[in-house]
Amino acid sequence: MAIPALGDQIELLVRARYPVLYVVSWEEARVEQHLQAIAARRNKQLHVWSITEGIREASTVEGQAPGKKRAVTDPIEALEVVIQHKEAAIYLFNDLNAFLRPEIACNRPIIRKVREVARALADSYKTLVICSPLMEMAPELQKDVTVVDFSLPTPAQIDSLLDRIIKDVAQHASIRVDLHTKGREALVRAAGGLTLQEAENVFAKTLVNDGTLNGEDVSTVFAEKQQIIRKSGLLEYYEASDALDDVGGLDQLKEWLKRRAMAFTDEAQKFGLPAPKGVLLVGVQGCGKSLCAKAVSREWNMPLLRFDMGRMFASLVGSSEQNIRRAIAVAESIAPAILWIDEIDKAFAGSSGSAGADGGTTARVMSTFLTWLSEKSKPVFVLATANDISHLPPELLRKGRLDEIFFVDLPNQEERRRIFEIHIAKRKRDAGVIDTEHLAAAAPGFSGAEIEQAVISALYDAFYLGRDLTSDDILRNITQTVPLSRTMSERIEGLRGWADGRARLASTRTVEAEPTRSGGRKLEIG
Ligand SMILES: Nc1ncnc2c1ncn2[C@@H]1O[C@H](COP(=O)(O)OP(=O)(O)O)[C@@H](O)[C@H]1O
Ligand SMILES: [Mg+2]
């Protein structure tokens, strides 16, 4: 996997004597194991604190009965223990972040105490490690605390988990494990993107299901994984129903996509073609960017994973950085696949300029993503869309990151005609009976979405009047609509200016000049 193993970063920071680390992870147990290993290597003790158990000796210290020492639960007292201890040690404080939220007044003394710990530990062989799935702390701690993300389990770790499970069930006569190398590899790959605990649960469920564990369980593991991924709310499997032929216009883009379809085959690889990296579709809202993402999945017959950037930054779902790494790992585990990042511009909308505004989260997420983009070896095709270019990071636009940037403009008259045709046919009406030529001419500046809306509203009208759809119904709805392009003409001009020289046009034909706006007052017909 091309994702950097950030787990090792912790050891580096411990050795460099960073006093306070903050590890963002759901995997408390794995973090503890990892720290235990570091402690052993560095000849240190590991002490663990939680609000319920207090500070205790790590459970892996052999021959020592747990609970022999007094358990100190109070966070301030426990932090004082950290300061007082003389030996070289690592202190793991689970969920201490609950006491570091600045908005709760009684947290003040604890926040203060952490700053004192940071000072006291600066020239000691002790490290305080805070672990939580959430990233939250008072702003005044930002300079004292170093945030680290904990990477997902590697294939090797999942493999040894599988080993352990197989050993555990060996004495059960009713359970058959039948795993040769290939089936085993497939299972490990299928569990990619899960935490160790999730992977264990999934394997256990598969075992209990039918009493066996073999290569055929890959599909069960995938199904379980879909559920877990859906629950996380960040990645969504998209069932695509639209085909590329359902997209009107955009001939250049469609042609490009059709050509790239073949690049994922074995023959293409033998021929020496690299797997396509991805495209960015930039352009006017409602003109078919998201539609193309869905259509390409069907055209290429590859699963489509929609990644919700906006939600990721809403921070309620844990660490942004771990989340993007997880999305990447999931996509790689089911590759060949399409990773669809819709409205990627939204993610950066609030973060322009000052990298410090969000504690550098956006910057770190972006660099994780870009590093992966330039190093990725698995056939995961990235399809990103954006309506606005003002906040897009320049690194994303640099040549070589993606294969191509396409500019999606408003449809011209012939394209509008085709879009009318598509949407009329979609509603099971005969596009031959409707004068699409005339409608297209009457709708300059309309986006595909607005054309679709006009057809739908016309259908409502016809149904209300108790007869079938006519051209006039649609025409009436067109004249009643002020297309967005009219109110946003400046923004669209800005987009066009930006795209000129930077992006390839998604459509050969240019949009005809808009009829002069002074053309005047719109009459409501009917
Ligand atoms: N070129 C087009 N051909 C056919 N339908 C289109 C086209 N552009 C937009 N539409 C219709 O409008 C809807 C919204 O467009 P969408 O792809 O979401 O726009 P955006 O470019 O903002 O992502 C689509 O689902 C589709 O029904
Ligand atoms: Mg869209």
Q: Which atom of ligand 1 is least distant from the CA of 247?
A: 3
Q: How confident is the model at residue 350 (pLDDT cuts 50, 70, 90)?
A: low
Q: How confident is the model at residue 142 (pLDDT cuts 50, 70, 90)?
A: confident
pLDDT of 520 strictly over 80: no
In the chain, the N- to C-terminal Cα span, in Å, equals 63
Best of 254, 281, 287 to mutate for ligand 1, by most ligand atoms within 8 A of CB? 287
Report all structural domains of the chain as residue ranges with CATH numbers, in order of start.
6-149 (3.40.50.300), 155-232 (1.10.8.60), 238-408 (3.40.50.300), 413-479 (1.10.8.60)
Q: Is the CB of 448 under 6 A from ligand 1?
A: yes
Q: Is the CB of 507 under 6 A from ligand 1?
A: no
Q: Is residue 331 within 8 Å of residue 376, measured between CB atoms?
A: no
Q: Is the CB of 383 under 6 A from ligand 1?
A: no
Work out the percent of the chain whose per-residue pLDDT is above 70.
89
pLDDT of 420:
96
Secondary structure E strands in 62-207: 89-94, 126-132, 145-149, 176-178
pLDDT of 509:
67
Enumerate the β-bridge partners of residue 282.
386, 407
Give the mean model confidence (pLDDT) for residues 94-105: 91
Preceding peptide of 336 cis, ω within 30°: yes
Residues 6+ apart with CB under 8 A from 316: none
Determine which residue's CA is closest to atom 13 belonging to ligand 1. 449
| Coil, strand or helix at 281 | strand
Q: Is the CB of 54 under 6 A from ligand 1?
A: no
Q: Is residue 386 within 8 Å of residue 421, measured between CB atoms?
A: no
Gap between the Cα atoms of 31 and 11, Å rounded: 12
Give the mean model confidence (pLDDT) for residues 450-458: 96
pLDDT of 355:
43
pLDDT of 301:
83
Give me the residue label for tokens 């300059």.
444
Q: What is the DSSP string of 16-64?
A: TT-SEEEEE-S-HHHHHHHHHHHHHHTT-EEEEEETTTEEEE-TTSTT-
pLDDT of 2:
35
Kindly list the strands in the beta sheet with 20-24, ordered across the sheet, starting from the edge strand earlier in the chain: 54-57, 45-50, 89-94, 126-132, 20-24, 145-149
Gap between the Cα atoms of 128 and 47, Å rounded: 10
Give the mean model confidence (pLDDT) for residues 285-307: 90
Amino acid, res. 235: L
pLDDT of 356:
46
SS3 content of the chain, % helix, strand, coil (to 5): 50, 15, 35
Gap between the Cα atoms of 327 and 9, Å rounded: 21
Q: Which of 432, 424, 436 is nearest to 462 (CA)?
A: 424
Gap between the Cα atoms of 305 and 339, Å rounded: 5
* Highest mean pLDDT, choosing among 177-181, 295-299, 346-350: 295-299
Q: Is residue 446 within 8 Å of residue 454, measured between CB atoms?
A: yes
- Token reading at 345: 């511009």
Segment 360-370, tens digit of pLDDT: 677 777 888 88
Q: Is the CB of 380 under 6 A from ligand 1?
A: no
Q: Is residue 360 within 8 Å of residue 317, measured between CB atoms?
A: no
Q: Is the CB of 345 under 6 A from ligand 1?
A: no
Q: How confident is the model at residue 136 (pLDDT cuts 50, 70, 90)?
A: confident
pLDDT of 514 strictly over 70: no
Gap between the Cα atoms of 110 and 104, Å rounded: 11
Segment 153-188, tens digit of pLDDT: 888 899 999 989 888 887 877 777 777 777 888 888
Average pLDDT of the residues of the chain: 84
pLDDT of 194:
85
Give the mean model confidence (pLDDT) for residues 515-526: 44
| Coil, strand or helix at 395 | helix
10 Å CB burial of residue 261 (0-12, 13-18, 19+) is middle
Q: Is the CB of 422 under 6 A from ligand 1?
A: yes
DSSP state of 399: B
Gap between the Cα atoms of 187 and 483, Å rounded: 52
- The alpha carbon torsion through 415, 416, 417, 420 (nearest 10 deg) reads 130
pLDDT of 261:
83
Gap between the Cα atoms of 440 and 435, Å rounded: 9
Q: How confident is the model at residue 353 (pLDDT cuts 50, 70, 90)?
A: very low
Amino acid, res. 362: T
Q: Is the CB of 291 under 6 A from ligand 1?
A: yes
43: left (phi over 0), alpha (psi -120 to 50) or beta: left
Give the mean model confidence (pLDDT) for residues 3-16: 73
Residues 6+ apart with CB under 8 A from 73: 51, 52, 53, 54
pLDDT of 6:
47
Gap between the Cα atoms of 219 and 326, Å rounded: 20
Q: Is the pTM of this model over 0.95?
A: no
- The alpha carbon torsion through 490, 495, 496, 498 (nearest 10 deg) reads 130
User: Distance from the CA of 286 to the center of ligand 2, in angstroms?
Assistant: 7
User: Distance from the CA of 437 to the center of ligand 2, in angstroms?
Assistant: 27
User: Distance from the CA of 415 to the center of ligand 2, in angstroms?
Assistant: 18
Enumerate the β-bridge partners of residue 72.
55
pLDDT of 278 strictly over 70: yes
Give me the helices (H) in 191-241, please.
Answer: 196-210, 218-232
